[in-house]
Structure 1
Amino acid sequence: MIKKGITRQIVLHYFFVVFLALLLVEFVFMLAVQRYYYESIYNTISTHISNSKDFFEPISRANNAEDGNNLSRLLENLKLSNTELQILDLNGRVLASSTAFESDRAVLQTSDISQALNGAMGRWVGREPSTGEQIMAVSHKFDLGGDHTYVIRYMTALTMVNSKLLVMGLLASAVGVAVLAIVLIISIGMANSIVRPINNITAVSAQMARGRLDVRVKGNYKHELGELASTLNFMAHEIVRSNQIKDDFISSISHELRTPLTSIKGWSETLDSGGYDPEETRIGMSIISKETERLIGLVEEMLDFSKLQQNQMKLVKGTVSIREIVQETMLNVWAKAEQKQIHLKLDADETYPYNVFGDGNRLKQVFLNIVDNAIKFSHENSWIYLSVKEENGQIIAAIQDTGIGISEEHLIKVRDRFFQVNHQNGGTGLGLAITQELVELHEGTITMQSELGSGTTVTITVPALMEDTNDNGAETQSSDGSIPN
């Protein structure tokens, strides 16, 4: 007995479909064979009747014999082997029979007789009342001239034919049972070939669920099972990678939190001990303030990411000028850029508003993060180019640096949460992940192009606020020249 499960379902489905198909085929086959045999018998008798009629009727009309001579001569000349010949009057009464039955038997009223009286070749299949045997009767009307018109009726037993049909039916049933047995064996094999990989995948997934993320689905499976195995393996790989990124994040954030806390604790203890001049006190308080701001920035970054992940980030939207936001961003990072002697250059039409419908503070956060990264990874005495333009109902802002760039391997992962190309640079690895989420909340897109050693270009595209655009057609031109290609 096959245990419950997919194997049993597949086997039963195959078996049921084949069983119905065989049942239908055998029914049609037996019906066709029976029809063939019955038609053969009918055609033999009807051909004999037609030939006899064409030959005997003209002779009988010429001789114009007496009724008794006609009957005996009909019986003699029209007899057919393995059949009983009856001669009936037009009322259906038997006048003579090749088996010498009495002529005063009851009137016959079978359908073949009524068809014969109408001039057709009548046929009837049924049971003989006296014997209960199944027979076929074929009747036709003979006109011998004058008042000598009779119905010639042949009857033949179908017992032998039905016996052959029964044997053929039993043989066909045996073949059907054999076919079903073969189908059962094949369907079990096919079901196992499908279920075995599923069981293997299930076992591996159960191990993964228990924390064994090093296991993989092995085997070259095809079609949907192959896709399922590949997806499961990819999922395990991504979970391992995500866990590794989380571990790296915890290590990095622990370091990031410990460093400012150590500075704050050290200077606070130093200042608490007293005995320092005002300048040293000012320096200490400045360091405590900066490190506190740094801690606040780290915490706010993690809180922002948590809100985004839980869809709790609320945007206060209104009409915002992207050009003004970019200009404010440049002012905010100007001091940091000056420390590395990095030059910032904006390319935007001063008369064009570049308005969008969005949250100004969050959009500024987006540009601050990208420009800050550009400064962090740029060489000293280099340039960072910023441009804003409107194209096909979209505001397109680009930030291009000539810094260290990002390798192709890291470029596809750089926007993943917690991912950091270089952990020694500090940070949480959430900046670009948050930036992408904020841009998407504004129904925009962010793309990155980079080449290791040549720099990076980040492009932000958001829908323009069409009601506030003008049609002056002014071309984008910066005060100190255009961005070189």
Structure 2
Amino acid sequence: MNSIRKRLSLNFLTVIFITIAIFETLIISGTKQYYYKNIEDSLTNQVKASSEFYTKYFSNSSLKENVQENVDVFWKQTSAQVQIIDTKGNILMDSIGVIPSEVIDDEAFKNALEGKLGKWRGTVSYSRHKVFSVTYPLKSNNKIVGALRFITSLAPVDKEIFAISLILSAIGFIALFTALVVSIFMSNTIVGPIKNLTTVAGKMADGDLKIRNKKVFDDEVGKLSDTLNYMADELLKKEQLKNEFISSVSHELRTPLTSIKGWAITLKTDELNDKELIRDGLQIIEDESERLTGMVEELLDFSKFVSGKITLNKEIIHIDILLDYIKKQMSPRAKRDNISFIVLKNDNIPAIAMDPNRIKQVLINLVDNAFNFTPEGGTVTVWTEVQNKYLILHVDDTGSGISEDELPKIKEKFYKGKSSKSKNGIGLSICDEIIRLHNGFFIITSELNIGTNISVKLPIEI
């Protein structure tokens, strides 16, 4: 596996190597141009001075005569190789005695015959080093009579440039080595926390949800560490809630089963002749069986919601139909518990698209919860209104209310409140899922010992 440390180090080194290479190339190129320009300027000044000297003092005689009589004048002021060339390209004099058989016909010589300075850099047959030359016209009575050429070897300059290049290369290698050490250190500051994070995540995946990662730096990796720790906290809470939920459901299932089994044993005895007792026993078995069926259906519903297998069967329906059903079904319970149950209708509510059975399930669950937490003499009110293209169903009660620390959690899966009247902790989470599938909102506000207000907002979209 190609590790992050290796990739980071290579990336650091690549960037630094390219930077150093560009930097050194620019320096070496600049140095080379600087030295060559100095040579060019020096030879140019010398050749112009010699040409002007010739024009001033030797223009009365022919070029050939001047070469024969005053040859040393041309190289007194320079250490360069000096050549004097006539207008036909013949070398009349060379300070080092190199007289080629062919005539001069290069671009620099042609520029000199046109009265301009000619420059050339390259190799010659009599030297293994590169040379640089400048060619300038010789004039007599404002007429070009030949050309003066100064030639100098570039060997000393190239040697200095090579030495500078070696020094810069050595500095570059030292910088690259230093960068390698620094890059390894820097990559460790990134890779180290990531390796720790990976180790902790692996242990969490194996089931150790109590382990936590230690944040080293307050950066992106540190934020990831905080997120991982937060995730572990949430998973631990969910695990605890799940265990409590299983324990609670097991207890609630055991109660009706125990009752059913007890009465079944009682009714099985041969000596039982009391018809009233038999009738009561069978009624209790029926009631407990119905309660057990309700709990199982709730669990099945919950399982479907969690797995995403619930689909809505929407139809256009008026909410008053559901309110009439809720009032009819829940009124006997309210009368039995001595609770004032009020259902208020609103004539301005339009019919909307909804799954009536699922919304009925939500209302029954909310009203049933309201009854559970409202004492005798209290009031449970169901009412509706339209607000900002939403139908809002309100279920208000004057019950015990919900504490501030519990309020954000009561819609969570498996959460069971602290009250002894709290059930298995999945009813409100199912309601929340149903409302979410309707693209609605589920809002709960409450004050301890004052009451709870629940709002179900459903979009009005026909």
**TM-score, normalised with respect to structure 1:** 0.90
Which of 453, 456, 461 is matched with 1:457 structurally?
453
State the shift of 1:352 in Å. 3.1
Question: Helix, strand or coil for the counterpart of 1:178?
Answer: helix
Which of 422, 425, 429 is matched with 1:433 structurally?
429
State the shift of 1:463 in Å. 1.3
Which of 86, 95, 118 is matched with 1:89 structurally?
86
State the shift of 1:77 in Å. 4.7
Which of 249, 252, 255 is matched with 1:259 structurally?
255
Residues 258-289 of structure 1, C-alpha deviation per residue, up to 9 Å, x if partnerless? 11111111122222225343333332222112
> Aligned Cα RMSD in Å?
2.0
Distance across 1 between alignment mates of 2:343 and 2:421: 27
Per the alignment, residue 33 of structure 1 pairs with 31
1:5 aligns with 2:3: yes
Structure 1 pair 74–222 and aligned structure 2 pair: CA distance change class (3 A): farther
Distance across 2 between alignment mates of 1:423 and 1:385: 22
Distance across 1 between alignment mates of 2:311 and 2:143: 113
Q: Superposition pairs for residues 23-422 of structure 1, below 5 Å? A: 23-61=21-59, 64-71=60-67, 72-73=69-70, 75-77=72-74, 79-102=76-99, 105-145=101-141, 149-273=145-269, 275-349=272-346, 351-422=347-418
Q: Structure 1: any 5+ residue segments left out of the alignment?
A: 467-485
State the shift of 1:173 in Å. 0.3
| Amino acid aligned to 1:16 | T
State the shift of 1:357 in Å. 0.9
Distance across 2 between alignment mates of 1:153 and 1:79: 14
User: Relative to structure 2, which stretch is displaced further, 110-119 or 301-310?
Assistant: 110-119
CA contact (8 A) 2:349 2:385 kept: no
Distance across 2 between alignment mates of 1:413 and 1:304: 20
CA contact (8 A) 2:113 2:144 kept: no
Residues 355-409 of structure 1, C-alpha deviation per residue, up to 9 Å, x if partnerless? 2212111110011111111111112211122221112221111111121111222
Which of 13, 16, 20 is matched with 1:22 structurally?
20
Distance across 2 between alignment mates of 1:323 and 1:55: 120
Distance across 1 between alignment mates of 2:89 and 2:383: 112
User: Relative to structure 2, which stretch is displaced further, 21-30 or 254-263?
Assistant: 21-30
Distance across 2 between alignment mates of 1:22 and 1:162: 22
State the shift of 1:411 in Å. 1.2
Question: Helix, strand or coil for the counterpart of 1:312?
Answer: coil
Residues 55-80 of structure 1, C-alpha deviation per residue, up to 9 Å, x if partnerless? 5424444xx12434432546505644
Per the alignment, residue 477 of structure 1 pairs with none
CA contact (8 A) 1:208 1:236 kept: yes
Distance across 2 between alignment mates of 1:230 and 1:156: 72
Q: What percentage of residue pairs aligned between the two structures are identical? A: 32
Distance across 1 between alignment mates of 2:72 and 2:109: 18
CA contact (8 A) 1:252 1:426 kept: no
| Amino acid aligned to 1:35 | Q
Distance across 2 between alignment mates of 1:167 and 1:287: 107
Distance across 1 between alignment mates of 2:430 and 2:34: 82
State the shift of 1:335 in Å. 1.7
Distance across 2 between alignment mates of 1:185 and 1:398: 68
Question: Helix, strand or coil for the counterpart of 1:416?
Answer: coil
Distance across 2 between alignment mates of 1:344 and 1:144: 129
Distance across 1 between alignment mates of 2:70 and 2:398: 124
Residues 130-179 of structure 1, C-alpha deviation per residue, up to 9 Å, x if partnerless? 22221101111121138761111000011100000000000010000000
State the shift of 1:249 in Å. 1.0
State the shift of 1:110 in Å. 3.4
